[in-house]
């Protein structure tokens, strides 16, 4: 007879399923990559990204499309942050996505040192339209690097009797990979961010920065992140390699097409090849300007 969860176990399962549904709806590429993670960490990583996606949707359009103004959206974000931290403390939330994240945070030691910068960056999207170097770096740290650090907490602590902190080398790799992911997406969404959201994250529109120099920075971050992947736990390496290689391919395509007329994407057949390569344990692809 198979075990059927009841009570809090059933609620936990429903929360995890809700987080997985969010990811499946919003990102096929990320969904494919998470399937390469070992079961020890897979659900936790989905739980992190589901909360990140909900917060991002509050500031990136859907809340405004629903009729909220910027002030109301900020209030929603404040409420989500408060509920998240409360749930981490008490171990329960009536919001299934928050509940899933809180369970992961409690097990893997994700605290306010990572959640506060994340929500601060999300809040910035409601108040700052154009970024200089300092505000870009601060925004990328909170919106992307800390997400990588949350995942790293999962990689080293999920299922462990005595959770501990990751090594400085792994911390640097997680931050650099998160920064590369974010800057690649800024480049991919350059026209949309400017036309639909009125935002300039990279300074390309104003002429403060050159596109090639940004791609050089991205490739440098990807190279640094690749050096740390072999030091991750074995059940994480294939998924992180696949994600790294997908963004390395996006960077390559962005460099090859300096004036794209549509959002740069990686064809499914190429994605499948990158995933297959990661599955057999290949090292991350090398990147260079």
Question: What confidence tens digit (pLDDT) does each residue in 114-172 have?
Answer: 999 999 999 999 999 889 999 999 999 999 999 999 999 999 999 998 888 899 999 99
pLDDT at residue 178 greater than cutoff 70: yes
d(CA 284, CA 65): 40
HSE (CB half, 13 Å, CA atoms) of 252? 12
d(CA 284, CA 242): 8
Q: What is the predicted pLDDT for the residue at 30? A: 76
- Roughly what angle, to the nearest 10 degrees, separates helices 168-188 and 146-157? 140
Q: Which DSSP string corresponds to 99-129? A: HHHHHHHHHHT--HHHHHHHHHHHHHTTT-S
pLDDT at residue 207 greater than cutoff 80: no
Number of H helices, E strands in the chain: 14, 0
Q: Is the Cβ–Cβ distance between 22 and 54 less than 8 Å?
A: yes
pLDDT at residue 29 greater than cutoff 80: no
Mean per-residue pLDDT, 100-117: 97
Q: What is the predicted pLDDT for the residue at 28? A: 72
Q: Is the Cβ–Cβ distance between 254 and 184 less than 8 Å?
A: yes
Q: What is the predicted pLDDT for the residue at 199? A: 87
Q: What is the predicted pLDDT for the residue at 245? A: 96
Average pLDDT, the chain: 92
């Amino acid at each position: 007879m198979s075990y059927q969860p009841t009570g809090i176990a059933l609620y936990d399962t429903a929360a995890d399923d809700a987080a997985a549904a969010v990811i499946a709806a919003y990102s096929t590429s990320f969904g494919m990559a998470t399937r390469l993670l070992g079961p020890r960490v897979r659900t936790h990583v989905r739980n992190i990204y589901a909360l990140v996606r909900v917060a991002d949707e509050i500031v990136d359009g859907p809340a405004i499309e629903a009729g909220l103004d910027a002030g109301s959206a900020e209030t929603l974000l404040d409420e989500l942050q408060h509920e998240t931290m409360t749930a981490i403390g008490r171990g329960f939330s009536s919001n299934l996505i928050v509940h899933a994240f809180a369970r992961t945070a409690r097990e893997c030691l994700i605290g306010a040192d990572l959640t506060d910068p994340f929500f601060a960056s999300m809040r910035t999207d409601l108040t700052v339209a154009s970024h200089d170097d300092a505000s870009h770096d601060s925004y990328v740290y909170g919106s992307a690097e800390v997400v990588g650090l949350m995942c790293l907490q999962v990689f080293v602590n999920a299922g462990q009797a005595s959770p501990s902190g990751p090594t400085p080398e792994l911390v640097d790799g997680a931050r650099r990979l998160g920064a590369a992911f974010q800057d690649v997406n800024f480049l991919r969404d350059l026209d949309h961010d400017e036309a639909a959201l009125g935002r300039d994250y990279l300074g390309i529109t104003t002429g403060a920065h050159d596109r090639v120099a940004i791609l050089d920075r991205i490739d440098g971050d990807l190279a640094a992140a690749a050096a740390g992947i072999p030091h991750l736990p074995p059940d994480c390496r294939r998924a992180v390699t696949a994600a790294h290689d997908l963004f390395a391919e996006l960077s390559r395509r962005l460099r090859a097409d300096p004036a794209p007329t549509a959002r740069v994407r990686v064809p499914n057949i190429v994605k499948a090849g990158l995933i297959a390569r990661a599955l057999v344990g290949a090292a991350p692809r090398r990147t260079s300007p």
